[in-house]
Amino acid sequence: MKRLLSYFKPLNRLARAQAKWQANYGAIDSAQQVVNLLGVELPAPDTPLLEQDIISLDFETTGLNPDKDQILSIGYVEMQNGMLNLSSCEETFIKDSSGINAQSAIINQITPEMLKSGVGLDEAMDALFAKMAGKIVLVHGLTVEKSFLEHYLQQRFGIPLPPLLWLDTLLIEKMLVTNRHIREEGDYRLSSIRQRYGLPEYPSHGALIDAVATGELLLALLNKCFGRVTPRLDEVYDMHHYDLTTSD
């Protein structure tokens, strides 16, 4: 019975999904930077989470539909040993203003003039993939980043996004809410959750700022859940990924 239950644990399901993806797409020479995203193998479930390399990632986009909207900027910061490595901070603007409209400019305060010194999407993505390789990917609300990455890989390489090791501060916060009505209807904006944990207020809707804010929030959530005890990878991953791990 113990072995059967272990089979369905999210990290084990993720490992099988990664092996299946590797078998189908791992030999595509033109997409080796995508293959490298998976690293050598998944960390052991009992590995202390904060001993793992984590990259906190955020996209600013013109909307939520990758079929018609575009990525405007990519921001990330790396985390090692439970600390944000601010020297690793990067924010890249994409040199394509065709999708900017008045509404998106108001929301994320990115104008066409700001993108003139940006880089092409392929160049930005190649650099991002190199930084993401073998790392845990941290986001706040993974739907946006995951769907835009999936769309990009389908368009450029004709392959699906590899099953990555995602952590999502939004979903972790949801799992901590015991009232079902609040869980479904509550305010899960990054700024709102940070305020509940006494974290400083930052200007919102900047890719790099939001990436840093998400990294800080993860540390606050872990402190609430585990106190001074460093959690294992599976303790954090399993608590919010039962419904999200790619099925066999």
Single-letter amino acid, residue 142: L
Instruction: Please list the residues that pair with 232 across neighbouring strands.
Output: 48
The pLDDT profile of the chain, 248 residues, written as one tens digit per residue, is 556 567 789 999 999 999 999 999 999 999 999 999 998 889 999 999 999 999 999 999 988 999 999 999 999 999 999 999 999 999 999 997 566 665 565 466 676 777 888 999 999 999 999 999 999 999 999 999 999 999 999 999 999 999 999 999 999 999 888 666 667 778 999 999 999 999 999 876 799 999 999 999 999 999 999 999 999 999 999 888 865 544 44
pLDDT tens, 71-99? 999 999 999 999 999 999 999 999 975 66
According to DSSP, residue 26 is labeled T
Tell me the C-alpha to C-alpha distance, in Å, between residue 102 and each of 64, 92, 109, 210: 15, 21, 10, 21
Q: What is the pLDDT of residue 137?
A: 98
HEC states along 142-202?
A: HHHHHHHHHHHHHHHCCCCCCCCCEEEHHHHHHHHCCCHHHHHHCCCCHHHHHHHCCCCCC
Q: What is the pLDDT of residue 97?
A: 59
Q: What is the pLDDT of residue 246?
A: 44
Q: What is the pLDDT of residue 126?
A: 97
Alpha-carbon distance of 214 to 40, in angstroms, equals: 26
Burial readout 134-149 (b: 16 or more C-beta within 10 A, e: otherwise): bbbbbbbbbebbbbbb
pTM of the entire predicted model: 0.91
Find the Cα–Cα–Cα–Cα dihedral 230, 234, 239, 244, rounded to 10°: 140
Order of strands, sheet of 166-168, starting from the edge strand that comes earlier in the sequence:
83-93, 71-80, 54-61, 136-139, 166-168
